[in-house]
């Protein structure tokens, strides 16, 4: 009986040990799965960061190209504005000469009034000329 009693006493201990062992194995497996999930999430974040860096670099390059075109267009616009002013001055000078010729010769010269585009800002001064755009401009 002593051997049976010893077995009975040791059985609960064996059961407790098995439960502890199973719990430890379960915890290890849970920790392993948690590490795998964490590793997968870190890899996803690293991939996303790389993608965002590439996209940022691409957008910065596009912005640089657009900025360069803007500078070119602003420069061209300034040149055209100066040419407009020069041509207006020349036209006024020519009109003055024509008025003098008309006044001293007595010959009537038809001098049309210069339209001021500032009075009609939403109308183009030369509406008969179509405005053409290249296909490259529409990409931006």
pLDDT in tens, 15-51: 888 999 999 999 999 999 999 999 999 999 999 999 9
Q: Are 73 and 137 in contact (CB under 8 A)?
A: no
Instruction: Tell me the pLDDT band of 5, cut-offs 50, 70 and 90.
Output: very low
Domain boundaries, the chain: 2-105
Q: Are 78 and 56 in contact (CB under 8 A)?
A: no
The pTM assigned to this predicted structure is 0.49
Q: Are 117 and 123 in contact (CB under 8 A)?
A: yes
- Which residues have C-beta within 8 Å of that of residue 62, sequence separation ≥ 6? 140
Q: How far is CA 68 from CA 57, 58, 62, 65, 71, in A?
A: 16, 15, 10, 5, 5
């Amino acid at each position: 009986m002593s051997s049976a009693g010893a077995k009975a006493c040791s059985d609960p201990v064996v059961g407790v040990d098995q439960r502890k062992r199973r719990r430890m194995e379960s915890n290890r497996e849970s920790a392993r799965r948690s590490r795998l999930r964490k590793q997968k999430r870190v890899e996803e974040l690293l991939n996303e960061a790389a993608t965002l860096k590439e996209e940022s670099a691409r957008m910065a390059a596009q912005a640089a190209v657009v900025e360069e075109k803007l500078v070119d267009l602003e420069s061209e616009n300034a040149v055209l504005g100066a040419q407009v002013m020069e041509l207006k001055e020349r036209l006024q000078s020519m009109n003055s000469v024509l008025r003098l010729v008309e006044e001293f010769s007595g010959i009537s010269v038809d001098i049309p009034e210069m339209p001021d585009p500032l009075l009609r800002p939403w109308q183009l001064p030369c509406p008969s000329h179509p405005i053409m755009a290249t296909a490259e401009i529409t990409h931006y």
